[in-house]
Amino acid sequence: QQKINRIRKLNGIHVWGSDIPEPLLSFDQLVQEYKVNEVLVNNLINQGYSTPMPIQMQAWPLMLQGREVLGSAPTGSGKTAAFLVPILHQLQGPKKKGFRFVVLAPTRELAKQTHRECIRLSEGIGLRCHIISNVNRARKMFGAHTAKKFDILVTTPNRLIYLLQEGDTPGIDLSKVEWLVIDESDRLFEAGIRGFRDQLAVIYKACSNPLVKRALFSATFAFEVQHWCKLNLDNVAMVSIGARNS
Ligand code: ADP
Ligand code: MG
């Protein structure tokens, strides 16, 4: 325990919650201890990464254990790979079930960036990662009567809500979603974007698989988001990198 505390302190990792696993210090440990797909780990190495960043050290073991997480770390500190790696591993490979992983991002630009990183990290694994560029085309591609040959969706909440609510039948089926990630959650929860809580409730309801898990990431350890997580997430683990109120 003392050793774990020292590792956390050295890396500026603060944690709240019960049974938080030991931080991972190397990519090797992903393979050795968590049996993470080596293709995925090699994709990290091929990006030029050599060691996990602090948010990854703590979020990876948590999410690989299936824990719901709130992670906060400054901009540019590797939050995207912090959630992509454990979830891409758990999705294993392509299936014909429809979307099993959804990422919500506050803007189209951020959604595109995450989509690109998702494609890079899933190279050689065959997972199909999509973004909604046109809602009518999306309805045709992802609606009820399609072959369901897609696994991952990165989108803004507005476009997803439009697909779920406009028209006679939902333009997208989220019943097979296993992980719902809310990226930049502090921005989404901000007063400026009205009704995100309501949008999230609609999206979560559409994710009708009772085992669906949620993870939230943000640049600040915002009180509102913490509060929402404590109320809504199951046995939430909270991780914050750097100063508590940065
Ligand atoms: P955030 O979402 O926290 O703002 P990003 O996930 O966009 O940050 O990551 C910032 C940069 O760090 C990106 O260019 C990403 O490719 C890079 N990066 C991610 N993980 C690592 C790592 N383990 N080692 C080195 N660079 C990394
Ligand atoms: Mg980010």
Q: What is the radius of gyration, based on Cα positions, of the chain?
A: 17
Cβ–ligand 1 distance for 77 under 6 Å, the answer yes
DSSP state of 232: H
Ramachandran sector of residue 132 (left: φ over 0; alpha: ψ -120 to 50; beta: rest): beta
Cβ–ligand 1 distance for 192 under 6 Å, the answer no
> Would the pLDDT of 192 be above 60?
no
Q: Which of 79, 114, 50, 58 is nearest to 217 (CA)?
A: 79
Name the pLDDT band for 168 (thresholds 50, 70, 90): confident
- Strand 213-218 and strand 179-182: the pairing is parallel
Cβ–ligand 1 distance for 54 under 6 Å, the answer no
Instruction: Measure 75 CA to ligand 1 centroid, in angstroms.
Output: 9
Looking at residue 106, its pLDDT comes to: 94
Instruction: Measure 205 CA to ligand 1 centroid, in angstroms.
Output: 31
| ipTM exceeds 0.85, yes or no | yes
Instruction: Measure 144 CA to ligand 2 centroid, in angstroms.
Output: 31
Token digits for 200? 């999230």
DSSP state of 76: T
> Would the pLDDT of 245 be above 50?
no
> Would the pLDDT of 88 be above 70?
yes
Instruction: Measure 136 CA to ligand 1 centroid, in angstroms.
Output: 33
In the predicted model, what is the mean pLDDT of residues 171-193?
90
pLDDT for 95-135, tens place per residue? 999 999 999 999 999 999 999 999 999 999 999 999 998 88
Cβ–ligand 1 distance for 70 under 6 Å, the answer no
Instruction: Measure 183 CA to ligand 1 centroid, in angstroms.
Output: 14
Nearest CA to ligand 1 atom 24: 49
Ligand nearest, relative to CA of residue 184 = 2
How many other C-beta atoms can be found within 10 angstroms of the C-beta atom of residue 227? Answer: 11
> Mean pLDDT, the chain, as a whole number?
94
Looking at residue 243, its pLDDT comes to: 57
Q: Do the beta carbons of residue 60 and residue 82 sit within 8 Å?
A: yes
Cβ–ligand 1 distance for 80 under 6 Å, the answer yes
Nearest CA to ligand 1 atom 9: 78
pLDDT for 205-233, tens place per residue? 999 999 999 999 999 988 989 999 999 99
Lowest-pLDDT range, 11-20, 52-61, 120-129, 145-154?
A: 145-154
